[in-house]
Structure 1
Amino acid sequence: MSERSGDEGELDRTIGLAGAVTIGTGTMIGAGIFVFPGLAAGRAGPAAAVSFAIGAVIALLVALPTSELATAMPESGGGYYFISRGLGTLPGAIVGIGLTFGLMFASAFYLVGLGEYAATILVEAGVVPTTDIAVGPLNVVLLFAAVAGILLTVLSVFGTENTESLQNAVVGFLLAILAVLLTVSGLDVLGVRGTSRVPAQLAPKGFGPVLTTAALVFTSYLGFAQIATVAEDIVDPDRNLPLSMLGSVILVGVLYVITLLIAGSTFEPSVIGSMGETAIVEVAREYLGFPGVVVVLIAGLLATISSANASILSASRALYGLSSDALVPQAAATVNREYGTPHFALSFVGGVTVVLVVTGRTEVLAEVASFLHLVMYGLICVTLIVIRRRDPDWYDPAFRSPGYPAVPIVGGFASFALIFYMQPLSQVLGIALTLVAIAWYLFYARDIELKNNL
């Protein structure tokens, strides 16, 4: 029976409650506020706020079961580890490989957003004309994105304390900026500082796009699950895992809804949709002028760095968990003795992420990441029900999910259902990666048995 051995080395517990919250919050703020407003409001208008609210509800329904499982099994790998121990090796392999690729797709998505912000800074500074940033043999957006991916991977190799320090600083700055922007713009929209901008219709395009938009933007809520993938790095996991997962979802969910209501009320859907990944910059220009543009450009750059940073770290820990169970080559579980990090896993994750970046397909990257995570979220809910029913001796969580069994049943159903609202290409790629995971299991890991496997 295979189990995690001490041969690979143990990860250092260096991430506290604040660091765990900022891994989740930093990831989610980066996507939901600084990348998605233009894409989401362009589809659904102000009703995109409802799409984000739907995503928050689904995320909370999954975060509760995840928190319970995480306190019982605070191991690297997160959802993979829970599902493999609760449902068996095949579902675990599907989810573990899918989670690793899902996080790499998410990292690439965030990095493309980072490249958009970096290139827009050059445009605003007059360094390059608008027409030159994404055309020709040298695509400035993708160049910035690829270089940033390499640098963030190197940073993570040198220790998780570097990642935590970066996350804490970035998220603190972002929350301060958002407090000012949302307060000023919110007062303007409500007419407190001038003429009201409250739209006559919440959904000028109807409510049909609300669910498809929810499927698109669900990538914004992947951050809470990323906390679970670094469970072995977290100090006092019994307390800090549930607090950080639930707290981060609630905090960013409120910020998303307010942001999308303001953005959707400021510009018509056709206008804000054409602004792409940096639409929030134009919202800042509308209410705060050029100083607001400068600050939000810097904040957007830092936010997308934060999201990519946390995703690369989490993807490497998911791969580390697979390797520790011998489901992928053992090299991925090798820990650098000097820095206490899985450097081979980080190198692989960083390399694949940079390759994905060069596709530049923002919406597809986001939806494939969501697809693979939603499969995992649905199976996490199933896992909680199975483990609770079987009640093995080793299962002793410090946190119990309230509302059982209704919460995991509804959370699992909602997770699977949201997949059907994605664009066909994203569904095809998600299914293809799932089939790759099944094939890998059949040809490489079929005979593996796991410790604590029910």
Structure 2
Amino acid sequence: MSNEPSGSNIEGDRPVAESVVETAEATITDDAELERTLGLTGGLAIGIGTMIGAGIFVFPGLAGARVGTAATASFAVGGVIALLVALPTSELATAMPKSGGGYYFISRGLGTLAGTIVGLSLWLGLVFATAFYLVGLGLYALDALAEIGIAIGASPGLLVSVLAVLFGIGFTVLNVTGTKNAAKLQNGIVALLLSMLVAFLAFGMLEALGFIDADTPPGEAANVWEVVPIMSVAALVFTSYLGFAQVATVAGEMKNPGRNLPLTMIGSVLIVTAMYVLTIFVATSVFTQDALAAAGETAMVEVGRQLLGPAGALVIIVGGLLATMSSANASILSTSRAIYGVSKDALLPRRASRINLRYGTPHVALGMAGGPVIVLAATRQVQLLAEVASFLHLIMYGLICVALIAIRRDQPEWYDPDFRVPGGPVIPVIGALASFGLIAFMNPVSIGVGVAVIVLTAGWYFYYARNVKLKGAL
């Protein structure tokens, strides 16, 4: 695709590809032709690697405590919405194989105001998501200390905050010193994590189906098969699916993108959704609602203990540590690239896109990513952080679908995608309605914080970016 719109390309390292494959650290310009070396298998590895993370270890206890086994439906709803957005994103990505993904598509399809809101909201949405991952990491680190017999003391909550902040600082420094360093850590984490999860789920399904007796503890709470509670839990756990659209950022490096990109995005969502649904099914088969509520964010540790004794608990603790580390590390990287991208488009001061001459990384953007992440992580507000992150991403996903409709309507000369969503406007319309509609089931406080972020980003547009003209925008 050589005639896509020219514009302020979001330069730098690919924000997601580093999580599973090594990439060059050279800055990529608009005129550079990306080498298409990424096949279907590599694309699936990126998609799965960006989504399998903290959510699968933190949410089963929270979701199962609310609705029991019905939480499987909540995760399935999240997967369906992700699929509805994956198809429009695939079409846009094959027409505009640019780094920046959703921000680039929306800014070019809906203009500078929408681009500013989405670009800055993506930054802040990733900040909330990263803080959520770091709190989960702190909770699992606390369990790890307890498991090996180290006394926690009288203030476990304070220790979680301290651990979350320290890990946040560590990952920020790691990313400043070079993307390859972060990528090597990420590759090993994802490979080990996936193998552990497959083995655990295989054993858990044998117990859930009655082939193994794990002596499930009794409980009095019943499952809640009602629409509103299920959808409310879906809104909470949607944070688990935030990585799927990031596959679009490597569209320019994918072989046969018209075929492989949609297969990669759809396949990634289907595989990860299946793993999430199986995980929550195992958790709610071993423990009932009241037991999951008592165990909280680290309920999966107790599920592992129930299935395999102390060895099972240790496997889940290690898996939880790996997952939350993977999510936090990749998310800090992506957050900095979101800031870098909007700065290159002059929607933020240009100095935010400065590159460290020694390490070749956007150190200012990384500082703008890590600073607020560390502050939010110290709050330990797991559910609020997760829902605000979901809110801001759902806004972006809905607008991606709207951008596709707008671009198809205007039919600019440069728009020639290798893949087109079938069914005309039906799928993007449903995708937009589903994305925006899920927000209605969130906690009012989370909605209020999300709306405040949107208002602030719109205010920034009128204060700073209203006169910015984006090349290639409709």
TM-score by length of 1: 0.91
Map of 1:183 onto structure 2: 202
Alignment-mate amino acid for residue 98 of structure 1: S
Question: Which of 125, 128, 139 is matched with 1:105 structurally?
Answer: 128
Deviation of 1:4 (Å): 2.0
Structure 1 match to 2:61: 38
Which residue among 151, 162, 171 is the counterpart of 1:128? 151
Residue 294 in 1 paired to residue 294 in 2?
no
Maintained 8 Å contact 1:19/1:168:
no
CA distance in 2 between partners of 1:369 and 1:395 (Å)? 31
Deviations 1:235-256 (A, max 9, x none): 6593765454333211110000
Is 2:286 the partner of 1:263? Answer: no
Q: Find the residue that maps to 2:424 and give its secondary structure.
A: coil
**TM-score calculated relative to the size of structure 2:** 0.88
Stretch moving more, 337-346 or 181-190: 337-346
How many aligned positions are there? Answer: 449
Please report how far the alpha carbon of residue 334 of structure 1 lies from its aligned counterpart in structure 2 after TM superposition.
2.1
1:19 and 1:170, CA in 2 relative to 1: closer, same or farther beyond 3 A? farther
User: Contact (CA 8 Å) 1:31, 1:110: kept in 2 or not?
Assistant: yes
Choose which of 401, 405, 415 in structure 2 pairs with 1:385.
405
Deviates more, 1:397-406 or 1:219-228: 397-406
Shift of 1:395: 1.6
> Are 1:226 and 1:310, in contact at CA under 8 Å, matched by a contact in 2?
no
Provide the residue aligned with 1:171 in structure 2. 190
1:220 to 231, 236, 240: 240
SS in 1 for 2:231: helix
- Which deviates further from its counterpart, 102-111 or 150-159? 150-159
Alpha-carbon shift at residue 338 of structure 1 (Å): 4.5
| 1:143-177 CA distance string (max 9 Å, x none) | 11111111112222233333333222211111111
Matched with 2:110 is 87
Q: Mean alpha-carbon deviation: is it higher for 330-339 or for 193-202?
A: 193-202
1:275 aligned partner: 295
Name the residue aligned to 2:334: 314
Deviates more, 1:146-155 or 1:41-50: 146-155
Provide the residue aligned with 1:49 in structure 2.
72
1:52-109: CA deviation from partner (whole Å, max 9, x where unpaired): 0000000011011112212222223221111110011101111111111001100000
Residue type at the aligned position of 2:121:
G
Paired residues of 2:286 and 2:303 also in contact (CA < 8 A):
yes
Matches for 1:341-420 after TM superposition, within 5 Å: 341-420=361-440
CA contact (8 A) 1:153 1:347 kept: yes
Question: Structure 1, residues 108-147: CA drift from partner, whole Å, max 9, x if none?
Answer: 000100000111101111112475422xxxx211111111
> Distance between the aligned counterparts of 1:163 and 1:28, measured in 2?
17
Structure 2 letter corresponding to 1:173: L
Q: CA deviation at 1:195?
A: 7.7
- Which stretch shifts more, 5-14 or 427-436? 5-14
2:52 match: secondary structure: helix
2: distance between equivalents of 1:422 and 1:178? 29
Deviation of the 1:271 alpha carbon: 1.5
Sequence identity (%) = 53
Q: Give yes or no for the alignment of 1:157 onto 2:176.
A: yes
CA RMSD of aligned residues (A): 2.8
CA contact (8 A) 1:188 1:196 kept: no
Match for 1:328 among 325, 348, 355?
348
Secondary structure of 2:57's counterpart equals coil
Structure 2 letter corresponding to 1:187: L
Deviates more, 1:235-244 or 1:403-412: 235-244
> Structure 1 residues 164 and 246, CA, compared in 2 at 3 Å: closer, same or farther?
farther
Aligned counterpart, 2:22? none
Q: Which residue of 2 aligns with 1:10?
A: 27
1:103/1:369 contact within 8 Å kept: yes
Instruction: Mark the CA change 1:231 to 1:329 in structure 2 (over 3 Å): closer, same or farther.
Output: farther
**Alpha-carbon distance in structure 2 between the residues aligned to 1:79 and 1:108:** 21
Q: What is the rounded CA distance, in whole Å, between the counterparts of 1:202 and 1:71 in structure 2?
A: 49
Matched, 1:452 2:469: no
Q: Pick one of 118, 133, 138 that aligns with 2:141.
A: 118
In structure 2, relative to structure 1, the CA distance for the partners of 1:196 and 1:323 (3 Å cut) is: same
* Partner SS state of residue 396, structure 1: coil
One-letter identity of the residue aligned with 2:315: V
1:350 maps to a residue whose letter is: G
For 2:164, give the aligned amino acid: A
Structure 1, unpaired ranges of 5+: none
Matched, 1:63 2:63: no
| Native 8 Å contact 1:24 1:223 kept in 2 | yes
2:196 matches 1:192: no
**Deviation string, structure 1 residues 361-395 (Cα, Å, up to 9, x no partner):** 00000000000000111010011111112111112
Amino acid at match of 2:205: G
SS in 2 for 1:395: coil
Unpaired segments ≥5 residues, structure 2: 1-5, 13-25
Instruction: Mark the CA change 1:413 to 1:224 in structure 2 (over 3 Å): closer, same or farther.
Output: same
Q: 2:18: which partner in 1?
A: none
Partner of 2:15: none
3-state DSSP of counterpart to 1:145: helix
Query: For structure 1, which segment, 2-11 or 46-55, has the greater mean C-alpha deviation from structure 2 after superposition?
Result: 2-11
